[in-house]
Amino acid sequence: MRIQRTFVLFATFLLLLTRLNSFGQTDSLPYKHVIAVFAPLYLDSAFDAAYNYRYDKTFPKFINPGLEFYEGVQLALDSLSKENAPLEVYIYDTRSATKPLSEQLKSPELEDAELILAYCSGQELAGFAYQAALKKIPFINVNLPVDGGVKNNPYYVMLNPTLKTHIENLYRYTQKNYALNNIVYFRKKGNMENTIKQYFDESGKTTMSVPLKIKYVELPDSFTINQLKASIDSTKQTLCIAGSLDENFGRKLATQLASITKSYKLTLMGMPTFDNISKDFSRPEYKGLEILYTTPFYNPRTDTVSKSIVNYFNTKLYARPSDMVMRGYEATWRFSKLLIKYKDAISSNLTKKEFNVFREFDIEPVINKQTNTTDYFENKKLFTVKWLDGLIKSAN
C-alpha cells in the first residue's frame, strides 16, 4: 500500500507539472473569474532540473499536506469545469526555489485575481492578507487557526477557528450538557495553559447563563493515577477537562482516566489537538472512556460528493483521500461558486450560508471593540465529536 500511495503522489506531481500554473476552465467564454491558489508543493525539492524524481520509491511526509490540498483543489476544478464555470485558476508553489512568494504575489496574472485561496504558514499569512486588502479581494486561509495579527482587514477569511472560539464553544457545550456534573479541569504549567484558563474564565464572566463551577487542578509533568483520583468523586459523574494543547499530556491523561472507568463515572473533554491523536482512541486501552473534543472539520463521508471522491481514490489511485483533500475540494467549490454568483460583491457576501459541500460554515465578522470595525472574518462553526470504545460520532 505504501508503494501504491507513493506512485499515486508521484503521478499527481507529474500531472501538476503539466498543469501548473493555470487551469483554463472555459476557453470559449468571453469572461473568466480569476482565482489564485497557493500551496506548499515542493516541486523543486521533488524534481531536479531534468524533471527526474529525487526520492526513488519513497515519498517524504513533509510534501503530503500541500499536495493533498492540491488534489482536492484539482477535483473541485474538474467538477466546476463540467458545469462550464467561467474560471481561470492559477496554481502557485509557495516552496518554489526559483520564485519566492514575494515575487509570486507580484505576478502579472494576479493583477486580475478576484480571490486568493491559500494553504499557508504563519510567516506567509501577513503577506497574503496585505495583498488581499490592497486588491480588495477575499483571501481564504484554509488551514491556520490564527489571525496573524491582522487588523482592520475585512478581506481576510479564516476557515479554521481560533483557540478562543474552540474554548467558547466548549464552555457552552459543557453548560448545556454537564452543568450539574462535577467538573475537574486538569492542567500543567505553561504560558499557553495560562491562556487557555484565561479563555475559560472569560467565558464564565460573559455567559448569559449560570457560570460553571470548575475545580482547577495543576498536575506535575510526571503525574500519577493517584493524583487524578484525589480530585475525582467516585460517587458522582465527573467531566474531566484537559486544559493543555500538549498532545502527550492529553494522551497520558486519557490513558490513565480510561484505566479507572470501572470505578469512576468519567467523561474527558479535550482540546482541539485531540484531533491529532484521535487514531489512538480506537485502541483497547481507551475502552470505557467517553472522549469529547471540538473540531471544525467533521465529515462522516456519507454524502454523495464524499462517496464519489472516496470511490475515485479507491478505484483510480488505490488510496484513501485525506481530510486535506476534502478541505481543498470544499474551499475551492464553495468560494468559486460564491465568486461566480456575486462577482465583485463577493466580499460583501462572505457570510452567506450557500454552496456548502461536506459541512456547514458559519463565517462571521470579528469586530474590533476599540475601533468597532471588522478585523477579519472567521468560521465559527465547530462540531463536538465523541469517541467511545473505538467508534467516533457527532455529539452536537
Domain coordinates of the chain in residue numbers?
A: 2-161+301-381, 163-295
Assigned C-alpha cell, 31 = 469572461
Phi-psi region of 195 (alpha: psi -120 to 50; beta: other; left: phi over 0): alpha
Measuring CA to CA, how many Å separate 190 from each of 8, 257, 359? 42, 22, 34
Say whether 163-295 and 2-161+301-381 share the same fold: yes
Rounded average pLDDT over 275-302 = 94
**pLDDT of residue 274 exceeding 80:** yes
> What does the pLDDT look like over 186-236, one tens digit per residue?
999 999 999 999 999 999 999 888 899 999 999 999 999 999 999 999 899
Name which CATH class applies to 163-295: alpha beta
Judge residue 62's burial from the number of C-beta atoms within 10 Å of its C-beta, 0-12 exposed, 13-18 middle, 19 or more buried.
exposed
| Average pLDDT across the chain, whole number | 89
Note the CATH number of domain 2-161+301-381.
3.40.50.2300
Residues 6+ apart with CB under 8 A from 49: none
**pLDDT of residue 273 exceeding 50:** yes
User: Dihedrals φ, ψ of 103, to 5°?
Assistant: -80, -40
> What does the pLDDT look like over 98-147, one tens digit per residue?
899 999 999 998 899 999 999 999 999 999 999 999 999 999 999 999 99
Distance CA(205)–CA(373), nearest Å, equals: 24
